[in-house]
Amino acid sequence: MKILVTGGAGFIGSHVVDLYVEHGHEVVVVDNLSTGYAANLNPAARFYPLDIRNPQALAEVFAHERPAVVNHHAAQMNVRRSVSDPLFDAETNVLGSLNLIECAKRYAVEHFIYISTGGAVYGEPAYLPCDEAHPVNPLCQYGVSKHTVEHYLYVYRANYGLNYTVLRYPNVYGPRQDPHGEAGVVAIFTGQMLADQPVVINGDGEQARDFVFVVDCARANLLAMNAGGQGEIYNLGSGRGTTVNEVFATLQGLTAYTRAAGYGPAQVGETRRIYLEASRARRQLGWLPLTSFEAGLRQTIAYFKKVEQSKDLVAV
């Protein structure tokens, strides 16, 4: 089956592409490389270096490739930038996604898999863990823009028959996450600890997140291919929260980092505690996170060590 993956050179999207290729699918990647890297691209996938905000270029790709499935990972995913520049956030996440949905309608895409956020759409939880029925009251513009596209998809299925599935991601971590870009706390801390640099925790460090290894999240995208596209929304998550202080302590032990953490001001728009209930994904997709947090951290550390060693070799 031919699958078009937006953001397929990015951290999570590239793992999804790898899994699709591994299972024999024909994959087309669209990515503007603003946060993704050419080095992440699977050589078996055809690559189009374009921006989803360009409707004409996007339509040309659809007309030529005629994908049966669209997997939409491309996004402005930096919460801080969404707060400081909400127009850019909406232009990318809402208008860019709408360009893609229009192409999916026009070229008769069979299934649209949309990556939303479980970490940002629910806001400060009324109860934990959050299931898909939890009220949606985001505290940041990123959460608003990602959720808005879910409504567009509902409209396009109701009015035009566009089949879709929504995956609401938790905090994803693992190899290929950029510690210098729009990374999560695991990548940032890992990069700083391996370089023996100071680590600063925003706020008191007791904010809790649901951390799931990237390969586990990628596997949900493979399982979603069999979901039928009936407009279902699935949380992905471990069902438990891990505090930033716990992330620091675990990474400190695994990297033999000797410095104490520093603490800075809390970030605007940041949810205090969020973790997700994912029993619907277990029942209907057969999905479970299989990688323990410590095992995932070990793989992440090994990746960053390998990347740094390769940089040293190049420099020599």
Q: Is 155 a domain residue?
A: yes
Q: How far is Cα 212 from Cα 186, in angstroms, rounded to an integer?
A: 11
21 and 63 in a single domain? The answer is: yes
Structural domain boundaries enclosing 201:
178-209+241-276+291-315
Whole-number Å distance between alpha carbons of 119 and 315: 39
In a domain, 284, yes or no: no
In a domain, 271, yes or no: yes
Q: Is 253 helix (H, G, I), strand (E, B) or coil?
A: helix
For residues 181-188, average pLDDT: 80
Instruction: Pick the catalytic residue from 142, 169, 234, 275.
Output: 142
Q: What is the pLDDT of residue 181?
A: 56
Q: What number is the average pLDDT over the span 42-65? A: 98
DSSP annotation of 259 reads: S
* Whether 97 and 65 share a structural domain: yes
Query: Which residue has tokens 């949900």?
Result: 220
Q: Give the chain's domain count.
A: 2
Question: How confident is the model over 15-46, as pLDDT tens digits?
Answer: 999 999 999 999 999 999 999 999 999 999 99
Whether 66 and 125 share a structural domain: yes
pLDDT attached to residue 270: 78
Which pLDDT belongs to residue 315?
A: 35
Percent of the chain clearing pLDDT 70 (strictly above): 96
Same domain, 107 and 136: yes
Residue 118 lies in a domain: yes
Indicate if 115 and 81 belong to the same structural domain.
yes
pLDDT tens by residue, 206-240: 999 999 999 999 999 999 998 888 999 999 999 99
Residue 286: inside a domain, yes or no?
A: no
Q: For residues 134 and 124, what is the distance between their CA atoms, to the nearest angstrom?
A: 11
Q: What is the pLDDT of residues 94-109, one digit of tens each?
A: 999 999 999 999 999 9
Task: Reply yes or no on whether 142 is catalytic.
Answer: yes
Three-state DSSP class for 49?
coil
Residues 127-146 pLDDT 10s: 999 999 999 999 999 999 99
- 282 falls within a domain: no
Instruction: Please give the Cα distance from 113 to 227 (Å, whole number).
Output: 10
Task: Indicate if 11 and 144 belong to the same structural domain.
Answer: yes
Taking residues 238-246, what's their average pLDDT?
Answer: 96
pLDDT tens per residue, range 270-316: 789 999 999 999 999 999 999 999 999 999 999 999 986 665 433 32
Alpha carbon distances (Å) from 16 to 7, 115, 159, 191:
10, 12, 29, 23
Position 192 in a domain: yes
d(CA 295, CA 213): 9
Assess whether 70 and 10 both reside in one domain: yes
Q: Are residues 28 and 137 in the same domain?
A: yes
Distance CA 216, CA 291 (A): 7
Output the domain CATH number for residue 194: 3.90.25.10
Let me know if residue 249 belongs to a domain.
yes
Q: Are residues 128 and 162 in the same domain?
A: yes
- At residue 26, φ and ψ (nearest 5 deg) are -90, 125
155 and 185 belong to one structural domain: no
Tell me what pLDDT residue 182 has.
Answer: 55
pLDDT for 268: 77
- Give residue 163's pLDDT: 98
Q: Which residues contact 242 (CB under 8 A, 6 or more apart)?
A: 208, 209, 210, 211, 293
Residues 41 and 104 in one domain: yes
* 135 plus 165 within the same structural domain: yes
